[in-house]
Structure 1
Amino acid sequence: MSTSRRALLGAALGGAATAAVGLPAQPAAAASWQLVWSPSASDDGLGAFETVEDDRADSHPAGQPHIHATGDNWRFNMHTADRDTSTDRQRQEVTGLRNGSGSDYLKWTEGQTWRVTYSMYIPSSLKATTTFTHIMQMKQPGTGTSPIVVQSLRRVNGVQTIELKLAIDDILVGRTDLAPLHDTWTDVDFQIKVGDGTAGSVRWILKSGSTTVIDKSLTGVDTFLADRVRPKWGIYRSLGDTSGSLQDTYLLLTNLHGYRLS
């Protein structure tokens, strides 16, 4: 090989080596949802939750337990006779995500992103009202604390709807007709980044079978008060309804899963 060809080959190899050294590092693995909570109604019962708020005022002993596991579902019964400790409203709810049979529960803290998925059955007897009827809440734990996010059944101009609102600033995330979701199973996918001021975000998806009923999200919103965020499920409704919609009813939940983004 001639001297000139050796020089050219050396230069080429040197260039390749230099290029190899300069290759960018492999990107870090993308964040992904990690399943951290997957209770079974038949196996875990009410032990799936941090707390159970079943007739806190002992207003209707004959109806107890209002909240219980039945087969693969959690059932929340509400009677017109039921009263909460504030007697202008009714409440049968569970809170939090308990991990196992001990005292461990999952804490949703500022800066974290969480997701819960589940299926709910809303019978036609569980109607939207002119005042609040919440079937899921995100709250700061503690007596008297305000809700952060609410999934509610609300009458709007006489029409029954289901909606998601950011309660801190009274921001509507999304709303859709409730009637098509009565007496059938609806899949819920709720995601929240816990953030103060404008650091939070939410996404709310409802599906009926293979059909996406609604898929709405908001970023740059307030989803934190103090301490932590704790989810609640069940029926929490005002007795101030003016539409005549309050009656004995129930709510079923199943296939509850909790994910943390990591």
Structure 2
Amino acid sequence: MRPRVLPTVLTALALTLPALLVPAGSASAAPTWTLRWSPSPAADGLRAFETVEDDRADSHPAGGPHIKVAGDAYRFDMHKVDRDSYDDRQRHEVTGNRTSSSDFLEWKLGQTWRVTYSMYIPSSLMATTTFTHIMQTKQPGNGTSPITVTSLRRVDGKQTIEHKVFDGGVLVGRTDLEPLQNKWVDVEYEIRIGDGKAGSVRWVLKSGGKTVVDATKTGVDTFLADRVRPKWGIYRSLDDSSGSLRDTYLLLKNMKAYQLKS
């Protein structure tokens, strides 16, 4: 009886077929998320950030520090009397992702980044008729417009939390704010940095393990010049007409930044 060679032939084909399907010169491995930043509030303190903007107009020194470590979280306190250097608004924010005393991450054109963190929004931090931003991406430097913003905004009288691409006011996602207050909510934010229509944004909110928002916008402008830098904290207008401005605070913890690497 002649030996059966068919299984041997099939095995050889199975081993070589994946290589035959990959074009010459292309990478076979899929891009992966690489952790680039994971600060510890207790160990790193405010050194986790590139800059700290705490009452830069020195409007309320008795209330400071307005940005500090509170247990395993970062706390941002905002008082009704606090003023920014523009006195029609208030601002206590941190920027960037510092990795050492002399280095920080730079989000560049063509790159894709993801930040994840947990936030606690008390009922005293209310949505307003004008802007109340709790996360932004911007080009570093004074006088530059936001690129994307997470905001607490009143829509038809209802308190909402939303994420927008600033250029064109493109709404990525929006949901009711009040069910997310007074509890820890998980955030995932992803940005592909692209000029014109080459950018994209994904925004995810989870509460109690349940996904509340998972929204994506593609074909949007997510670049101005130089680089993109994230900001967190409370930045709000004093022109609110709903009576929603209170002494309040915001908590952030478990902050991480990942870069998509080929």
SS at match of 1:169: helix
Letter in 2 for 1:52: V
Offset, 1:18: 10
User: Which digits, 9 at most, give the CA deviation of each residue in 1:202-251, with x for residues without a partner?
Assistant: 00000001110110001111000000000000000000000000010000
**CA distance in 1: counterparts of 2:97 and 2:30, whole angstroms:** 26
Whole-angstrom CA distance in 2 between matches of 1:134 and 1:17? 59
Residue 28 of structure 1 and its aligned partner are, at CA, apart by: 1.0
1:24 aligns with 2:23: no
* Structure-2 separation of matches of 1:60 and 1:105: 29
Deviation of 1:103 (Å): 1.7
Q: How does 1:55-204 map to 2 (within 5 A)?
A: 55-100=55-100, 102-204=101-203
Alpha-carbon separation, structure 2, partners of 1:123 and 1:62: 23
Distance in 2 (CA, whole Å) between partners of 1:21 and 1:206 is: 43
Deviation digits for residues 173-200 of structure 1 (CA, Å, limit 9, x no counterpart): 1100000011000000000000000100
| Total equivalences in the alignment | 252
Find the residue that maps to 1:215 and give its secondary structure: strand
- Aligned to 1:24, the other structure's residue is in SS state helix
Q: CA deviation at 1:70?
A: 1.4
User: In 2, distance between residues paired with 1:20 and 1:36?
Assistant: 35
Q: Which blocks of at least 5 consecutive residues in structure 1 are unaligned?
A: none
SS in 1 for 2:206: strand
Q: Does 1:235 align with 2:234?
A: yes
- Measured after TM superposition, the shift of residue 71 of structure 1 is 1.1
Q: SS of the counterpart of 1:226?
A: coil
Provide closer, same or farther for how the CA distance between residues 259 and 17 of structure 1 changes in structure 2, counting only shifts above 3 A. Answer: closer
> Which whole-Å CA distance do the structure 2 matches of 1:18 and 1:150 have between them?
52
Give, in angstroms, the shift of residue 21 of structure 1. 7.6
Deviation string for 1:100-130 (max 9, x for gaps)?
3x12000000000000000000000000000
CA shift digits 1:154-177 (9 cap, x unpaired): 000100000001001211111000
Q: Percent identity?
A: 67
Amino acid at match of 2:105: L
Stretches of 4+ aligned residues off by more than 2 angstroms:
16-23
SS of alignment partner, residue 118 of structure 2: strand
Q: Distance in 2 between matches of 1:18 and 1:64?
A: 69
Cross-structure match for 1:225: 224
Q: Give how far 1:17 is off.
A: 8.8
Amino acid at match of 1:198: K
Taking the aligned partners of 1:38 and 1:61, their CA distance within structure 2 comes to 30
Q: 1:29 to 1:128 in 2, by over 3 A?
A: same
Residues 24, 216 of structure 1: alpha-carbon distance in 2 compared, 3 angstrom cutoff: same
User: Equivalences for 1:35-54 in 2 at 5 Å?
Assistant: 35-54=35-54
Tell me which structure has the larger Cα radius of gyration.
1
Letter paired with 1:159: K
Question: Using a 3 Å threshold, how does the CA distance of structure 1 residues 24 and 236 change in structure 2: closer, same or farther?
Answer: same
